[in-house]
Amino acid sequence: MDNRKTVSVNVAAGSEPVVSVIVPVRQINAFIREALPLVLKNHDVQVEWICLPDSIDEISDDIKDDGDRVRIIPTGSVGPAQKRDIGARVARGAFLAFLDDDAYPSLSWLAAALPHFENESVAAVGGPGVTPPGDSFWQQASGWALASRLGSGGARHRYLALGRPKDIDDWPTMNLIVRARDFSAVGGFNCDYFPGEDTKLCLALVHHLGKRIVYEPRALVYHHRRDLFWGHFSQIGRYGEFRGHFVRALPKTSRRPIYFAPTILLLLVVTYPAIAIISPYIGKLVRSVLGVYVLLLGATAVEVTRATSSLRLGLAATGGVALTHLWYGTKFLVGLWRPPSSLALAGKKVNESS
């Protein structure tokens, strides 16, 4: 039985605006001020910007609700998924463009994404979230830890504009544009998870509704990173924990080898001393695997150094890759064993404190 609640979206024929840009935020911040003018200008289609802070008291004097292109909807202290559902219910656009509160679009964003929707089989378009060139050294290090080949493997196109358009079935809401009627058809996000609400939505669009999600590398936004190390690992830990839970809850898109690889690495590192004592032969094999990983870390340092012309940044990002894998692997194991109710509660606490 389908227990999803219906999220009603107002999409009258020929309605304006065409795109509703929905941004959940606890309170108006410097990132919002940076993004707003870039959302509203330099697009060939009519756009409305819907910002969803906790309360009216936190709305900045320099950002006003004009009831037309800028709309500010106080939501109370609820999580990003709930805020996005609220934004969708009041949106007037035929397409719902979800951005994080610390992201801003490139000038090619909508022009590159919207033509894909001419094909009725396409429910959503996702694009990369590239680290802004003006981010600090430690933010850049965090970005390259994610964007390097070893850091994210086949998922690095989430952080760099790579390759050509292709079909995908899981994409983060830092840059995801969804056809409004398809969003409504699957009940929206309708969940307490954070992170993870985007995985749930994409799974419904592709595997329940039978529609397509297209990756478009030119539809890029710039996404500010957390500082390496503390902010970065706090975020990565949440990703790992919820992905571990989704191995059980949403196995269709979460039981992929790439998600298990960091945990396998962690287990090899932790158990190697005991294995070497119990079985020198197996210990030698494990040592060889870890040796290959160290060589790949060296290749990562070269990769990032060449891309950035900074050896210091290459070394920092490489250290970030190794620690990211070990921390993600640890939290992935936690997510495998924690009950769903405790994960939803943990996500709610993160929402309230972020």
What is the chain's mean pLDDT, rounded?
88
DSSP string for 3-36? -PPP------TT-S-SEEEEEE-SS--HHHHHHH
| pLDDT value of residue 340 | 59
Residue 316 has a pLDDT of: 98
DSSP-derived letter for residue 101 is T
Percent of the chain with pLDDT over 90: 72
CB 36 within 8 A of CB 70: yes
Report the C-alpha gap between 32 and 23 in whole angstroms: 9
Q: Is the dihedral of CA 177, 181, 186, 191 positive or negative?
A: positive
What pLDDT, in 10s, does the model give residues 164-195?
A: 999 999 999 999 999 999 999 999 987 766 66
- In terms of CATH architecture, what is 19-127+171-225? Alpha-Beta Complex (3.90)
Helix (H, G, I), strand (E, B) or coil at 37: helix
Handedness of CA 259, 202, 237, 235 (dihedral sign): positive
pLDDT at 103 over 90: yes
CB of 214 closer than 8 Å to CB of 124: yes
Question: In which band, very low, low, confident or very high, does the pLDDT at 144 lie, cut at 50, 70 and 90?
Answer: very high
Amino acid at 190: N
Q: Measure Cα distances from 164 to 141, 147, 290 in Å.
A: 26, 17, 33
At 198-255, the pLDDT tens digits run 998 999 999 999 999 999 999 999 999 999 988 999 999 999 998 998 888 888 888 8
- Cα–Cα distance for residue pair 97/21, rounded to 1 Å: 5
Is the model's pLDDT at 136 over the cut of 80?
A: yes
Q: Domain residue spans in the chain?
A: 19-127+171-225, 247-353
